[in-house]
């Protein structure tokens, strides 16, 4: 169950010539693929392009009508390998996955693809989430393009430019027999706009038709001596062909006056930030007309020396706007100027910060500093010599606490780690390896479980050095998404092969929850186009794990605690696996809330569980919070002068999962938690009983109040 359905928006993908398409960037990319005759598409979900996979899944009927093959691949490597269909056949193919981490997983396939070259256009759409919006290590995909030598597009973040880049990418790939990567940033994926549609085009050759006439060419096989020829072909044929295509088709753009003392070279994806900075300086208008010449690199690799040197002609200084490090583009442009013996001053990371996102303020400060240094006459006098210093920016870190990511309210993974903390009290701390996914939040307070993470599905593998046995068994965490992505072979298979005497806890929440709730082989839901309901426990037994325990309700903290303790203390040697299963609460609420609202509106009787804390019983110890960490569980101060410490309090965001009460019970904490049932549309008898109960309780409260002694002030 994906976090968002695009069924309604997918209908707009049928629009043709004369129509205007309005929507998000990911929808525009899908429409552009169909307009450019794509023959097959695939990929692996991950921010910021998860929704692109969701759109493709919702559009399967339309794709089938056009003869387009769609596959939700098991990993980024599987997606990149899919592009092999374009090596021998003139079929356009596209795959998509998350930025540098996805490219890293796919790097083997991409390297082989770039070596052999392609006949049909091969497009890799990468969701680049560098900067503060990223959930991964801070790296750029640019290095991979340079390493394997496939061309890299970075279009301006507006729908017409993104749509054009898809067509340009396919054409560039075919003109140079080289795969092309198109980088779309977070803002590009979710920017809203419109563009003029073209008709959808059936692929000239479908994959089904290609099967009836197989092709092969041993010259494209990546083996010596062909692999040596591939390298020469890249440099002597493909690269010059790509440069010719870029120049002849104007893939890079120039804006502003033909002559000026300075200019700015900017990655396409950073264009909006540069224009906004120039607007704030009074050097550009709302339409993008700029007084400072801009050379916009919609293709950031390869860079074309002739274009760049022509842009630099007559200028004293040029600024390179490049986000991230190392400064690949700036280094290459410096080489162009050096070889041409040019006297143009090139600025970049001497003004911009080497690392970090180029936010609006960073961009404005850097562009201002450059113009003050190289062309102060272009700036307003107030900017060059301000009459008053700028007001200091307050240090909000002292008033706004750091808010790291955490589990959702009611998350079924929370009780797993509460149980681990309880076992830790008994057996002491263990070596624990984390993994990519929601469960990685357990490395943060209040749980502080898991000391490192090496990659998706690699939790157990990153504990391999500790799997040789010892005083305490090593513990690894592995999610269901990571398990099917890479973990079954690289982690579980590795443990079996090496007879690792260690424990792996596989968190099964029915979906690939961290990437948006997409189905995976172990999903419990029926999927008409995918094979689901393949239990993880059967898969691990199939590769040789003998000690396997299945827990189908993670909220049973006692059972979770006892099972983990058993795994860590049993005399039985060898790998041990606990599959801890409960449905992702976020997806469950997405499904159940509309159903519940509809039932209430229809007048049906509906019970909704809610949990509370008895303020008179709560001791203020707060151990429940330390073992739960639920966002709905907080503190409340009482108007009682004899109670100094605040008590636990459950707010209205509670989803009634019961974890707080389960934890309190398993940890032998105070019995202050209680469950209440909110009844919508009660029956007549039920309503009468509720009124009667309220009257009796009110009468008893009044009676007690009347008998209470009171001591007034002396007269």
**Does 671 or 500 have the greater pLDDT score?**
500
Flag whether pLDDT at 352 surpasses 90. Answer: yes
Average pLDDT over residues 577-592: 90
- Determine how many CB atoms are found less than 10 A away from the CB of residue 691: 10
**Does 3 or 105 have the greater pLDDT score?**
105
Average pLDDT over residues 32-50: 91
Average pLDDT over residues 318-329: 95
Question: Which of 67-71, 378-382, 422-426 bottoms out in mean pLDDT, i.e. has the lowest?
Answer: 378-382
Instruction: Provide the pLDDT for residue 620.
Output: 74
φ, ψ of residue 227 to 5 degrees: the values are -65, -30
CATH number of 253-377: 3.40.50.920
Residue 626 near residue 608 (C-beta atoms within 8 A): no
Flag whether pLDDT at 109 surpasses 80. Answer: yes
Instruction: Provide the pLDDT for residue 302.
Output: 97
The whole-model pTM stands at 0.86
Residue 323 near residue 130 (C-beta atoms within 8 A): yes
Instruction: Provide the pLDDT for residue 714.
Output: 58
DSSP SS3 for 550: strand
Flag whether pLDDT at 422 surpasses 70. Answer: yes
Q: How far apart are CA 459 and CA 365, in angstroms?
A: 42
pLDDT range class, residue 494, cuts 50, 70, 90:
very high
pLDDT range class, residue 86, cuts 50, 70, 90:
very high
pLDDT, tens digit (0-9, with 9 covering 90-100), for 212-242: 889 888 888 898 999 899 999 999 999 999 9
Beta bridge partners, 550, equal 579
Residue 437 belongs to what H/E stretch? none
Flag whether pLDDT at 55 surpasses 60. Answer: yes
Instruction: Provide the pLDDT for residue 456.
Output: 86
Flag whether pLDDT at 630 surpasses 80. Answer: yes
Q: How far apart are CA 344 and CA 148, in angstroms?
A: 31
Residue 132 belongs to what H/E stretch? none
Q: How far apart are CA 210 and CA 189, in angstroms?
A: 32
**The CATH number of 7-202+215-248 is which of 3.30.10.20, 3.40.50.970, 3.40.640.10, 2.40.30.10?**
3.40.50.970
**Does 451 or 247 have the greater pLDDT score?**
247
DSSP 582: -
**Does 596 or 3 have the greater pLDDT score?**
596
| Torsion, Cα of 12, 18, 24, 29 (10° steps) | 90
Beta bridge partners, 635, equal 648
Give yes or no for a cis peptide into 446 (omega within 30° of 0).
yes
Flag whether pLDDT at 451 surpasses 80. Answer: no
Q: Decide if 7-202+215-248 and 605-702 have a common fold.
A: no
- What pairing do the DSSP bridges indicate for beta strands 262-267 and 20-24? unpaired
Task: Please check whether the domain covering 414-587 is classified as CATH 3.40.50.970.
Answer: yes
Flag whether pLDDT at 374 surpasses 80. Answer: yes
Q: How far apart are CA 27 and CA 14, in angstroms?
A: 12
pLDDT, tens digit (0-9, with 9 covering 90-100), for 148-195: 999 999 999 999 999 999 999 999 999 999 999 999 988 888 889 999
Question: Which of 102-106, 284-288, 621-625 bottoms out in mean pLDDT, i.e. has the lowest?
Answer: 621-625
Instruction: Provide the pLDDT for residue 591.
Output: 87
Q: Which two tokens stand for residue 21?
A: 């398409």
Residue 532 near residue 510 (C-beta atoms within 8 A): no
Average pLDDT over residues 405-426: 90
Report the chain's mean pLDDT, rounded to a whole number: 90
CATH number of 605-702: 3.30.70.20
- Determine how many CB atoms are found less than 10 A away from the CB of residue 495: 27
Flag whether pLDDT at 357 surpasses 80. Answer: yes
How many whole angstroms from its chain centre is CA 374?
A: 40
Instruction: Provide the pLDDT for residue 549.
Output: 97
Q: How far apart are CA 11 and CA 59, in angstroms?
A: 8
pLDDT range class, residue 625, cuts 50, 70, 90:
confident
Flag whether pLDDT at 531 surpasses 60. Answer: yes
Residue 245 near residue 172 (C-beta atoms within 8 A): yes
Flag whether pLDDT at 709 surpasses 80. Answer: no
Closest by CA to 440, choosing from 520, 514, 376, is 514
Q: What percent of the chain is modeled with pLDDT above 70?
A: 96
Question: Which of 225-229, 434-438, 514-518, 678-682 bottoms out in mean pLDDT, i.e. has the lowest?
Answer: 514-518
Average pLDDT over residues 479-507: 93
Flag whether pLDDT at 658 surpasses 90. Answer: no
Instruction: Provide the pLDDT for residue 389.
Output: 73
Domains of the chain by residue range: 7-202+215-248, 253-377, 414-587, 605-702
């Amino acid at each position: 169950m994906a976090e968002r359905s695009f069924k309604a928006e997918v209908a707009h993908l049928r629009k043709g010539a004369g129509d205007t398409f309005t929507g998000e960037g990911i929808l525009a990319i899908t429409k552009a693929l169909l307009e450019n005759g794509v023959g097959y598409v695939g990929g692996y979900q991950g921010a910021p392009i998860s929704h692109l996979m969701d759109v493709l899944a919702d559009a399967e009927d339309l794709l089938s009508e056009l003869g387009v093959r769609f596959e939700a691949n098991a990993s980024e490597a599987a997606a990149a390998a899919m592009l092999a269909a374009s090596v021998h056949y003139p079929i356009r193919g596209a795959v998509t996955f998350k930025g540098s981490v996805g490219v890293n997983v796919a790097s083997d396939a991409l390297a082989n693809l770039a070596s052999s070259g392609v006949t049909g256009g091969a497009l890799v759409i990468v969701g680049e989430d560098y900067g503060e919006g990223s959930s991964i290590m801070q790296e750029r995909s640019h290095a991979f393009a340079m390493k394997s030598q496939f061309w890299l597009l970075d279009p301006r973040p507006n729908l017409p430019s993104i749509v054009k880049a898809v067509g340009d990418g396919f054409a560039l790939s075919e003109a140079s027999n080289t795969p092309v990567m198109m980088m779309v940033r977070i803002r590009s994926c979710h920017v809203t706009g419109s563009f003029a549609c073209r008709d959808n085009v059936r692929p000239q050759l479908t994959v089904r038709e290609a099967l009836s006439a197989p092709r092969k060419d041993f010259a494209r096989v990546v083996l010596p001596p062909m692999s040596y020829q591939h390298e020469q072909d890249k440099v002597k044929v493909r690269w010059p062909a790509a440069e010719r295509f870029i120049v002849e088709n104007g893939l890079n753009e120039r804006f502003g006056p033909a002559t000026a003392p300075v200019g700015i070279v900017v990655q396409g994806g950073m264009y909006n930030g540069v224009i906004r900075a120039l607007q704030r300086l009074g050097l550009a208008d709302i339409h993008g007309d700029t007084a400072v010449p801009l050379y916009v690199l919609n293709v950031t690799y390869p860079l074309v020396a002739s274009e760049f040197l022509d842009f630099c002609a007559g200028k004293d200084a040029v600024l390179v706007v490049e986000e991230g490090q190392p400064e690949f583009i700036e280094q290459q442009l410096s080489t162009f100027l050096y070889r041409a013996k040019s006297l143009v001053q090139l600025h970049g990371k001497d003004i911009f910060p080497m690392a970090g996102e180029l936010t609006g303020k960073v961009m404005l400060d850097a562009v201002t500093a450059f113009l003050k240094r190289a062309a102060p006459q272009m700036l307003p006098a107030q900017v060059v010599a301000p009459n008053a210093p700028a007001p200091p920016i307050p240090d909000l870190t002292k008033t706004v606490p750091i808010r790291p990511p955490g589990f959702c309210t009611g998350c079924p993974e929370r009780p797993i780690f509460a149980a681990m903390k309880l076992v830790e009290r008994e057996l002491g701390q263990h070596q624990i390896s984390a993994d990519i996914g929601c469960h990685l939040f357990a490395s943060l307070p209040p749980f502080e479980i898991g000391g490192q993470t090496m990659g998706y599905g690699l939790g157990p593998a990153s504990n391999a050095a500790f799997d040789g046995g010892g005083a305490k068994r090593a513990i690894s965490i592995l999610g269901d998404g990571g398990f099917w992505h890479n973990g079954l072979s690289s982690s579980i298979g590795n443990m079996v092969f090496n007879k690792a005497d260690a424990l792996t806890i596989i968190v099964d929440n029915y979906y690939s929850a961290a990437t948006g709730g997409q189905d995976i082989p172990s999903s419990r839901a029926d999927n008409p186009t995918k094979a689901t309901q393949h239990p993880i426990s059967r898969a691990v037994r199939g590769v040789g794990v003998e000690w396997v325990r299945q827990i189908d309700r993670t909220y049973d903290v006692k059972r979770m605690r006892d099972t983990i303790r058993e795994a860590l203390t049993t005399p039985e040697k060898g790998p041990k696996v606990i599959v801890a299963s409960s449905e992702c609460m976020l997806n469950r609420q997405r499904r159940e809330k509309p159903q519940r609202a509809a039932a209430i509106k229809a007048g049906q009787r509906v019970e909704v569980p809610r949990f509370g804390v008895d303020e008179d019983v709560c001791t203020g110890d707060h151990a429940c919070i330390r073992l739960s960490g639920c966002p709905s569980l907080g503190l409340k101060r009482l108007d009682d002068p004899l109670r100094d410490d605040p008590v636990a309090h459950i707010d209205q965001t509670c989803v009634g999962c019961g974890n707080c009460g389960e934890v309190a019970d398993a940890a032998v904490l105070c019995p202050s938690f209680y469950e209440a049932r909110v009844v919508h549309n009660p029956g007549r008898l039920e309503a009468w009983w509720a009124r009667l109960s309220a009257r009796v309780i009110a009468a008893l409260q009044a009676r007690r109040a009347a008998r209470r002694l009171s001591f007034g002030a002396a007269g």
